[in-house]
Every structure is written in C-alpha cells, then in structure tokens.
Chains A and B, each alone.
Chain A
C-alpha cells in the first residue's frame, strides 16, 4: 500500500533562495534594495565629484544674500534689497494666489458647464460639448500665450482713454467706469479705510488688523448662520415644523460686515487717468490675468467632464425613487443625486486641483514671477546654485501637492459612504 511521503525536511539549501516562494520574496527585496542603494550612492558620488570639479559647495547660505531684482506682483513688501529667501516667499505667495483663485473659478465654471452639458436643451448641451472638446484637446500653454498676447496687444494704450476736445475717447473704462483694461495691465478699484486699525510685522510679514477684523467678523457670521440652520433642523426633526430662517440668515450674514465697513469708513479708490497713465486703484499685471483666465478655462473643461460623469454615475432608479416619494426635481438633486454624485466627483477633482497648482509653474511662459520664476528662475541664474535651488523648489512643490491632497482626502472621507 502506497503511503504519501512525509513532507520534505526543512533543510535549507542555497537554491531555495530562488526557487522557494517562502524565501524568494526576501531575495528579490534584498537584491532590489542593494541595487537602489548602489544607484543612489553612484548619484551622490557623481554629485560630489562634479561639485568639486566646479569648485562649488552645497549650502543654502545664498538665501540670505541680497536678491537685487524686482518682482512686479508682491503680496508682501519686497524691494530689490531684500534677500533671496524673501523673493522665494513672494514667489510662493504668487503661486498660491493663482492656484487658489484658479481652483475656485474653475470649480464654479466647471460645475455650471457640466450641468448644462446634461441639460435637455439641445442647443446649450451641444455648445457645452464644443467648449469642452476644444479646451481639453489643445495644450494649456496655448491658452496662456493667447490670453496674454490678446490682453497686451489688442487692448488700448492709456492715452486712448483721454478725451480730446470734441472727440470721443477711443477707449472707455468698463463695469460702470471702475475698471480700465490697458495694454499695461488691468486697473481695478482698491478698497481703502478711513480709520485703520494698524498692524505689526512678524518676521517681515505684515499683519494688518483691519483685514483680520473683517476676516473675524465673516467667520463669526458664517458660524452663527450655521448655528441658526442647525437649530432649525433640530426643531424640524423634533416637531415637524421648520421655523422661518431666511431673514435671520440674511441679518446675521450681512449686517455685521456692513456695520464694520461703516465704522471703519470703507470706500473704494477708483483708478483715474492722470497724465499718460492710470493712477490709483490696483494694477493687475496681464501675466497674472492671462495665467488665471487660461488655467480656469482649461481646467473647467476637465471639471465639467468629471461633474457630468459623476451625475451620470447615479442610477436612474435613485431619481425615480425620489420622485415616487414626492420630492420635487430641485430637492431630488439636492438631497438624493448630489450627495451620491459627490462621492464619485471628489477624487478626480482633487487631482484637478493638484494639476492647477502644478500648472501655475507655466507662468514662466508669460514672465509671471511665481515660485518657479523667482527661486527656480532669477535667483538660480544669479547665484548659479542649480542644485540647491532645484531641490528646494521640488521640495516646496511636493509639500504643496501633498498638503492639498491630504486636506482634500479628509474631505473625501467625510462624504464617502459610511459603512457600518
């Protein structure tokens, strides 16, 4: 009678490192680790040799030297006497301001277009399809360059705004005589206050109490409004009657801000023609406008597709069930479709936000001095420290991307399906 053999003895042989699945994983990993370590050692060795040949050393001391160049758009005070580090901060803020505004505008535009593309209106849905296909299939660099060229070559020069005797001026200001678009930039009104609350500086970064006061009041208003709505919901759940809240919300949201504006004497300084140029207000550079407009239009096309896919992903049964329960179409969208569609929409939306942030580095095409233009551009060329500048810049972009995706992933978790 044939018996099954005993399991082979666990005597270790060298060939088991390759043929035995228990050990093979370890062999492969050790092998890979050695290869990678050798590769990095090789890179490091080359770098040290190359630095020695060029007579350079790796240090970041240059960040505290005088930068010596001007930056057009500065959100914190900066002169050409400031340090390279401060130029880096100015550039970083310029990157962030385009990224944040771009995300907001692109989301609004993208949601509108995505919803309109699903509209039953034949003409509008076709138009939106054309928009999406045209903007998606052409490089964003083209939109940036085109927007910049149009803004700076087609717009009138400031002297065209001058009214000669008996002749109408060749150009006029738009939006109720408050905004002037010239070939030098866009002049927009600037908010001013009569009674400033003052401010102070921390490490060279100015803190303005007036701005802080407005932010604080707005935050309080929104918090109070949220409390009112929560209270109304609780009351509705307890008694079935929903108390009227719209006037309370309006009161809480608008009255404090208006009161603060009146107390501080907020008014707008409108740009006006003085001599051959516009004075007063804020001059927004065309490089900024072009970058923002192009990124918004381009990314909106992608977001529109994401929104459309998200809404289409919700099965028709969901809206039919909602109608059967007697919900009106608006409430169906708000209570049934959107909460489910958001789960599908948010993950790709996160990567679009990351794309906007990374695409701001294309501002170099129109000489917009963002992080890439200051640290990775002029500072790099002036100091000749390619290695330090590029590594620092990559680290900053990486930090930005990772923080955006972390924050958005938290939000994503909060809207995902809660499984018991």
Chain B
C-alpha cells in the first residue's frame, strides 16, 4: 500500500492562526460586551445616549456662546444675539468676571485681600506635616508650590487695589514685609524637610494663631496671649507629669491655662499693646463672606472637631457609667436636631445662657456650634472603628502592662482611626458643605448670602445658572479633592494583604 514515490503530505510549518470573527475582536467585541450584551442592556445604552445627547445639545451652545465681559445681563443678551443670532442661548459669565471678588472675599476690604490669601496659602504649609508625614518628596513639592503660590497670589492681591475704592489698608510696606517673612519661613521649612527634621509640626501648632491674626487683624498681642496659655499648659504638664501622672498633670495644666485665659490674658495684652503698639488693621466679622467665610469656618471646625470627637467616642465606650451617660446624651441630642436649630441657638439663645452683658463674635459662636455638631457625628464614626477592633487587641495591650492612655495611643486609636478614615472624611465633607447654612443666621456664605446679593442687583436680575454653577464648581473641587485624598490615605495605610 505504501508507495515510496507517493509521500504523504506532512506539514512542517505552523499555519498562521486565522483572525477571529469580526464580532469577537477589537472595538466590535468591546461594544458587544459592554454596551449591547442583551436586549435590556441595549435599551439602557440607548437611553444613556439619549440623556447625553439631550444634555450636550442644550448645554453646549449655551456654553460656547458664553460672554465674559459685559456690564449687565441685558448687555450679555445683546452680545449673544449679535454674535450667535437671535434666540440663541448663551452663558453670561460676565457676572462671575465682575463679582468673583464677592464670591471669594465677601466684603473684606479690598486693600487687605493679601491677608486672607496669605493665610490660605500658608494653610497648606501647615497641613503638610500632618497630611504627608514622613514623605520628603511630597513635602518638598508641597512647600515649593506653596512658596510660589504665596509669591504670585499675595503680590496679585496686594496690587489689585482699584483706585476708586476707599482705602482701608495697612501701611504699604506691611505686605512686603509679611511676604518676605512668609517666604523666609517656607524656606526654613524646606531646609528642615531636607534635613529630615520633625520640627515642622511647630509651624502647624503656631498656624491657628497666625491665621487668626492675619484674618481679623488687630494687635499682635491677642494671638500671642492666647498662645501663651498653651505654653503654660505644656509647661505645667512637663513639670508635673513625672510626679503626678499624665491625667493629673494635664488637669492642673488646664486649670493654670484657664486662669490665664479668663483673668490675666486681657489685662496683660492690653498693657503690652499700650507699651508696644504693633498690629494689623482690624477687620470686623460682618465683612467676612463668600468662600473666605466657608473655608474659615470649615477648616477651624474640622481641626477642633476631631479631638473632641475622639474623646466623645472614648467616653461612650468607657466603663464609667456617668461619663458614658453624659457622652451618649450629648451625642444623641446633637445628632437628633438639625444643624439650623443649633445655629439659631448660637445666634438667639446664647444671649440667655451667657452672663448678662457678654457678647462675643458671631463667627466664633457659629464655629463653636458647628464644631460640636461635627464632633458628635465623628464620635459615632470613630465608635464604629473602635467596635471593629477585635477584643484581643485590648487584651494584648493590657497584657503588655500599658495603662489606659498608652493603650489608646499606641494600639487602639491608630487602628480604629485607620478603619474609619473614609467615614471621617465624609463627615468632614458634610461639615464643609454645611457651612453654607450660616446664611440663616445672617452671615454671608457664598451660596445664599452672596448669590442673593448678586441676583438682587438690577444689572444681574434674572441670572441663575452662572452664579450657582460657579459656586457649585468650587464646592465640587474642594469636596471631591477631599474624598480623593481619603482614598489615597486608605491605600497608603493599607497593611493587610487582601
């Protein structure tokens, strides 16, 4: 049967694989899998396309026809009608162009804009050591950009004084001096970072007083006096902690500091100011407004609510019945009523609860109430984190012979806080959004306060999309940034191997 002349065919080379069918490759396959995998998905896709088309077709011309320079809404409309034809829709960004300063600064004196600008830029430098602890590269980038920001923004803000404005300004050399000092400080911080020193936290500690002084102005002795109280506290604590234990030392330190703040601070600072008068032009609280106000309230409340929230959460977990009951009562009360009622308490009821004749700043009152509000929510969030820890962690801390505060500091809180980071940050985001509610106690928040003023102007009557989009976009950027940062932090601190 086998024939020597007739060789059977044996393939020596592999065939090229044939291309997959068209519907199983490339774009077509992706479309089939992701958009048209079933009849229901096809309907969804078509509906999605329809929604996008609807949005784009109505918003795009409006966006493209936008006018940036005009004196009033009617002028805007004339320009749009002239350029895009009668009946065309167009955005009138001129309102943002003309009134951006009110959205950002409220009625803060024009000549002093450099002060909140500087305070805002330095805020990042102050947050750096906390947010990017131990990361040299991130810190250097941050400090470098803050220095550049300070240089550019402060110069811009200080020279942005229109001539016709009645001038409420400091002496002209003041901002240059401040700028030089700020750059010097940033330079020192950069050097310290390069050397790998942990001393940067000092700036974070000093920042609240500095920020307060820059924003409200007045004699420099007021923030110095307030800081001195903390110095006293730290001094007493350091002197007594060896002999009396941390709890008692902290308590005594607090009493000394309170005595200073309540009885000695004011006379001493007044005397000092008379001896050496040095300060910035004072700015009243009712001149604050816009995002300056929102960020001031938001950042202060965020800073102070976290420690209070932690203490409340620990109190709620405590074995001491009275402490626990008080914490639960406080938390449930605050969480049970709307923030608005608490703000009204700040504006209407504090005059009943405080000794007759006392009257203190409305922004400060609002900040206190917002801080307490956020602290109650944070306490619940942190309690969740504490409850998530296995019992063994507490027992291990006990077995190592750590006392309560040591166990909390080294074992419990680092883990509990890490678990609750996403929830903590979303509480912060909620708090920042809630700063808009201060409009209801007569402060000028960017949303209701300032936008209402702009819309009440005869030139801009009837405008609504543009100011709301502007304000909403800024809120979005800040809040979205915070949530992204929390994701970064979660990834950074992740130590498990899932």
Contact = CB atoms under 8 A, between A and B. Distances in A.
Given A32-B322, A137-B479, A361-B340, 11 more contacts: A47-B352, A116-B44, A137-B480, A139-B436, A140-B433, A141-B436, A358-B338, A361-B341, A365-B439, A372-B341, A401-B336
A412 to B, nearest CB: 15
Given A33-B322, A133-B480, A359-B338, A50 B356 contact: yes
Interface stretch (B173-181, B189-197, B304-312, B343-351): B343-351
B277 interface: no
A127 B52 contact: yes
19 contacts: A25-B320, A43-B353, A46-B352, A53-B356, A123-B34, A124-B45, A127-B51, A137-B429, A139-B475, A140-B433, A141-B448, A142-B436, A150-B464, A361-B341, A365-B439, A390-B349, A397-B341, A398-B333, A402-B336
- 8 closest A-B pairs by beta carbon, nearest first, are A137-B479, A122-B34, A401-B336, A358-B338, A139-B433, A398-B336, A361-B338, A29-B322
A328 B41 CA distance: 18
Contacts of A123: 34-35, 44-45, 48-49
A238 B25 CA distance: 52
Contacts of A121: 34-35, 37, 41, 44-45, 48
B37 A120 contact: yes
B337 A358 contact: yes
B464 A146 contact: yes
Contacts of A361: 338, 340-341
Contacts of B353: 43, 46-47
Interface of B: 33-35, 37, 41, 44-45, 47-49, 51-52, 245, 248, 319-323, 326, 332-333, 335-341, 344-345, 348-349, 351-356, 429, 433-434, 436-437, 439-440, 447-448, 451, 462, 464, 468, 471-472, 475-476, 479-480, 483
Nearest to A56: B352
B323 A142 contact: no
A320 interface: no
A213 B475 CA distance: 50
A128 to B, nearest CB: 9
Nearest to A400: B336
A376 interface: yes
Contact of B352 (A18, A119, A386, A398): A386
A47 B345 CA distance: 13
Contacts of A116: 44
A354 B430 CA distance: 14
A43 B353 CA distance: 5
Interface string A343-355: 0000000000010
> Which residue among A123, A146, A362 has the maximum number of chain B CB atoms within 10 Å of its CB?
A123
Interface string A88-111: 000000000000000000000000
A387 B34 contact: no
A78 B451 CA distance: 34
A121 B33 CA distance: 8
Nearest to A360: B338
A15 to B, nearest CB: 11
A205 interface: no
A74 to B, nearest CB: 22
Nearest to B477: A137
B440 A364 contact: yes
Given A122-B35, A133-B480, A28 B323 contact: yes
A141 B41 contact: no
B44 A119 contact: yes
A80 to B, nearest CB: 24
B320 A28 contact: yes
Given A121-B35, A137-B429, A139-B475, A362 B48 contact: no
> Which residue among B339, B344, B349, B433 has the maximum number of chain A CB atoms within 10 Å of its CB?
B344
Contacts of B51: 127
B470 to A, nearest CB: 11
B321 A145 contact: no
Contacts of A142: 436, 447, 468, 471-472, 475
A400 B48 CA distance: 39
Decide if the interface of chain A is mainly helix, strand, loop or mixed: helix
A138 B341 contact: no
A56 to B, nearest CB: 9
B481 to A, nearest CB: 9
Nearest to A395: B337
Contact of A145 (B354, B447, B483): B447
A170 to B, nearest CB: 14
A153 interface: yes
A58 to B, nearest CB: 10
A50 B349 CA distance: 11
Contacts of B464: 146, 149-150, 153
Contact of B337 (A49, A153, A380, A401): A401
B96 to A, nearest CB: 15
Contacts of A398: 333, 336-337
A260 interface: no
B126 to A, nearest CB: 24
A41 interface: no
A100 to B, nearest CB: 17
A150 B465 CA distance: 9
Contacts of B479: 136-138
Contacts of A362: 340, 437
A365 B448 contact: yes
A123 B336 CA distance: 40
B337 A145 contact: no
Contacts of B52: 127
A207 interface: no
A393 interface: yes
B248 A18 contact: yes
> Which residue among B51, B340, B354, B447 has the maximum number of chain A CB atoms within 10 Å of its CB?
B340
Contact of A32 (B326, B462, B483): B326
A220 interface: no
B457 to A, nearest CB: 15
A120 B30 CA distance: 12
A121 B322 CA distance: 55
B483 A137 contact: yes
A224 B459 CA distance: 64
A36 B336 contact: no
A46 B471 CA distance: 41
B77 to A, nearest CB: 15
A307 to B, nearest CB: 16
> Which residue among B336, B468, B475 has the maximum number of chain A CB atoms within 10 Å of its CB?
B336
Contacts of A364: 340, 440
Nearest to B321: A29
A51 interface: yes
